[in-house]
Amino acid sequence: MGVNNGGKTPQSNNNAKGLIYYAAIVFLITMLLNALVFPAVMEQKVLEVNYNEFLTMVDAGQVVQVQKDTDQLLFLAQDAHGNKQVYKTGLWEDDSLTEHLYKAGVTFGKVIPQRESAIMSFLTNWIIPIGIMVLFGQLLSRMMAKRMGGNAMTFGKSNAKIYAENETGKTFADVAGQEEAKEALKEIVDFLHDPKKYADIGATLPKGALLVGPPGTGKTLLAKAVAGEAHVPFFSISGSEFVEMFVGMGAAKVRDLFKQANEKAPCIVFIDEIDTIGKKRDGSGLGGNDEREQTLNQLLTEMDGFDGKKGVVILAATNRPESLDQALLRPGRFDRRIPVELPDLKGREAILKVHAKNVKMDDTADFNAIGRATSGASGAELANIVNEAALRAVRMGRKVVCQEDLEESVETVIAGYQRKDAVISENERRIVAYHEIGHALVAACQSQSAPVHKITIVPRTSGALGYTMQVEAKERFLMSKEEALNKIATLTGGRAAEEFMFKSITTGASNDIEQATKLARAMVTRYGMSDQFGMVALETVNNQYLGGDTSLACSPETAKAIDDEVIRTVKTQYEKALEILKDHAAKLNELSEYLLERETITGEEFMEILNRQ
């Protein structure tokens, strides 16, 4: 487990020590002021009034005590608020004054002004107000920290987590399914182990390596594994942590991060989601992105300024490489771009084995079968599948995970949990059964389609009332035009079965329609599988690692022609699916009735009934 030098515990201790020191200093200064500067006590202020006002106060009964001095009278009286105050007035030759005072009930004696401690006065007038302001500032600081996600008063300090040597807890053995990326990073590890070998020949290590790939493929894990293999300190920070409310604070954090890295060299600095601060500068000049651009400029400057021979390696991860500023990607900064792609079949099987090390599995567990059923899954999703299988085994009261748990967890991740309390009418169950058998039958009757693995009409929490799962026998990287057309036909098979058997259609084919249209459009605009347009790119892909949104790159007239071609393609395959179902109407009925009875059937059961004479 990492040692977080910038974490809460050390920082809290430092703050507590600082407050103790400050309190001690303030106390000493107060004592010195009280002893050397101020007198031990100071008298209360004496107010002066004229003689007429004095007589008025006597008649009003406010005067309590009187003292005759050489040239003045001192008297103690109550003010308008009832508080006792010492007054003085000039001495007047008045023979009747004594009798007047006696009648008013005034006593005669020495009037001594109230005395108060100078230190108490200093504390009351200075220390206590300042203390209240400090406490208010602390409260305001905490409120700002909660809103800004950190300590609001540590401007200019980076929030990088610093892991000591060997404490990332990860090595290359913990990373599976990314052999090419590991090979590219092993050279960095070798340099950090023996930099002299490279210095002797005059070679310098690339200052930075950019890990790019879809979410969940293990980019952060790879960076930690590099630090674990090299036995060097590991600085980890997210790009969003450089984003600040005040202009210039992000740049200050960059300076502080590289200062710390240079002090601990050799080391690895890992910036996750670097696209947060590394986006292309638009040059609009509107001033809306001053803070982000200053942070980026500081990052570029720091990467140019540090000595690569000291062994400071910058690793960064992003799933939006196309949005990065070109200045970041030039040689001398992020020299290497290391793809961390979705794993293939062999990689998925290896990842499942890594995550199953600490899970009790029985002999039925077949990771190859699960790997084939999870084409396109990331490492994080595969880890989730293993965990879901373990949780299911516990729910079922078993102490080991079996193959059934793994297969059910695949379906849970893909389609959600089973909705056991869902109430579906018999008519709708029949429609769903024919719909799913329609998919499977069209797929099985075409020569270049993936084999049917499972068919179910058990509702799922994702909203699906049933689904048909097809699993390729081997890993596939290319799709021919015939295979693409067959897939569109399979997708339309459910709707075709509804129309053929019930002379009506439902909303259950919405996802099938979306997938079929998307594939047909890609055939025309991206794959060059259209006789009308041929090998012409009519569409561009944006954010390929984040869903792959597309945008047309053609005229409105061409866009209309593309729409016509897509509609024609889908219609042709729909008619093909309808013909297949008409030719196998008896099997469609037999298989649908069997599915209604069992709710879930395997691909072997399906093929056995289909091939039965």
Q: How far apart are CA 391 and CA 401, in angstroms?
A: 9
Distance CA 511, CA 515 (A): 6
436 flagged as catalytic:
yes
Specify the pairing of strand 549-552 against strand 539-542: antiparallel
Amino acid at 216: G
Rounded distance, CA 466 to CA 592, Å?
13
Catalytic position from the list 229, 349, 381, 436: 436
CA-based angle 319:325:330, to the nearest 5? 100
Grouping H, G, I as helix, E, B as strand and the rest as coil, residue 265 is coil
CA atoms lying within 13 Å on the CB side of residue 57: 25
Q: In this structure, are strands 600-602 and 452-456 parallel, antiparallel, or unpaired?
A: antiparallel
- Whether the Cβ atoms of residue 243 and residue 192 lie closer than 8 Å to each other: no
From CA 115, how far away is CA 78, in angstroms rounded? 17
Q: What is the Cα gyration radius of the chain?
A: 41
Angle at 45 between CA 43 and CA 47, to 5 degrees: 145
Of 432, 492, 471, residue with least CA distance to 604: 471
C-beta of residue 300 within 8 angstroms of C-beta of residue 251: no
Structure tokens at 55: 């007589």
Question: What is the Cβ-side half-sphere exposure of residue 61, based on CA atoms within 13 angstroms?
Answer: 1
Q: Nearest CA to 150 among 82, 238, 217, 91?
A: 238
Residues 6+ apart with CB under 8 A from 527: 481, 484
Quick check: helix, strand or coil at residue 611?
helix
Strand locations in 492-579 (E): 539-542, 549-552
Please tell me the distance from the alpha carbon of residue 512 to that of residue 490, in angstroms, as a whole number: 9
Phi then psi for 314, rounded to 5 degrees? -100, 120
Asked whether 168 and 227 are in contact (CB, 8 A), the reply is yes
Residues 398, 402, 405, 406: what is their CA dihedral angle, to the nearest 10 degrees? 150
As annotated, the active-site residues are: 436
